[in-house]
Structure 1
C-alpha cells in the first residue's frame, strides 16, 4: 500500500444526522477504533464563529471526538489553535455506526448536549427545550429515556472530576 493510500485509510467522514437529515459532514483523522469506541480529530467544521456565550468555537479550534457503538453520547475535547484546552462539548446521540465500507461514521444527534469548561467550574445542560420540541419523547419513549440517562451520566462525570477515566 502506498503512503498516500495509508493516509487515506486513516481518514473518515463524520456525518451528523438530525431529524433524518444530514446536519453537517466533515473529514476527520481516525485516531483509534477499538471495536467499541472510535476516536477522531478534526478542525472546527462549522461556518465561521459559533459563540455560545460561555465558549466560542472558531477557526483554528481542534476537536478530538470520541464516539461509542454502545453508548448514547459523544464527547468532544475542544482546544484552541495554540493547543489550550477550552473544555468538552458532549452530544447525546444514538450509538455511532460505521458505514459498510468504513469510510463514514454516522451519528444521530438527539438534541441534548452538555458543556464542561476546562477548569470544571462550568457544567451546563443544553438544548433540553429542543429535545422536548423534537417529538422524540412521544415518538420513541425508550430512546428518549436512554438519551436522558446518557445526559445524566455525563453530567455526573463532569461534576465529579471530568472525563479522564472515560477517555483513557
Structure 2
C-alpha cells in the first residue's frame, strides 16, 4: 500500500491525529490511519508511537508493534489491540476514558483530530486469554477525580467493570467488531 492511499482501490487515506490528554495536559499525540467510523465507533491503526520499549512486566510495547485502536463517542473507554510487526497478537490494552471527541471531521476531510481524555483506570487482556488485569486503580483514587467530578468517576468505575465482564464473559470480540468503513 502506498503512502496516502488505502487498500480500497486508491481512495485517499484519512489521517487522524490521536491526542491523549490526562489531567488537562497532552500525554501523547500521534498520527493514525482511519479504518472505519460509523458515527459512534471509530477504528484507527498506528505503529507504537512512544520512544523505545515500554515493559509493563506482563507485556512489552516496542518499536514495530502495531495498534488497532477502537474509540467510541458514547462509551467511557478505548480498546487497543496490540500486535507485533509480523502480526502476532499480544493482547488488548483498554483505557478508561471520557467518550472520544472528533474535531475537524467534515465531508471530504482527509485529516482530523481525535481527542481522548485518559481517566487512569486500565485493563489488560492477553491474546491467549489467560491474563486479565485491572490496572492503575491506585492512581485513579489519587487523581482526585471522585472529588472534582463524581459523575465522571462513577462512569469510569462502571466502564472498567464493563470491560472486565466483556472480556471474562467472552463478548469482548463482539464489542470490537468493526463498523462499516468510512
1:25 aligns with 2:43: no
TM-score norm. by structure 1 comes to 0.94
Aligned position for 2:175: 166
**SS of match in other structure, 2:57:** coil
Aligned Cα RMSD in Å? Answer: 1.5
1:108 aligns with 2:117: yes
Provide the C-alpha distance between the structure 1 equivalents of 2:79 and 2:57, rounded to a whole number of angstroms. 20
Aligned position for 1:130: 139
Tell me if structure 2 keeps the 8 A contact 1:49–1:59. Answer: yes
Aligned position for 1:155: 164
**SS of match in other structure, 1:154:** helix
Aligned position for 2:75: 71
In structure 2, stretches of 5+ residues that fail to align are: 6-10, 107-111, 178-182
Aligned position for 1:56: 60
Matched pairs, number: 165
Provide the C-alpha distance between the structure 2 equivalents of 1:4 and 1:117, rounded to a whole number of angstroms. 33
Tell me if structure 2 keeps the 8 A contact 1:67–1:96. Answer: yes
Aligned position for 1:89: 93
TM-score norm. by structure 2 comes to 0.87
In structure 1, stretches of 5+ residues that fail to align are: none
Q: Which has the higher contact order (CA 8 A, sep 6+)?
A: 2
1:46 aligns with 2:46: no
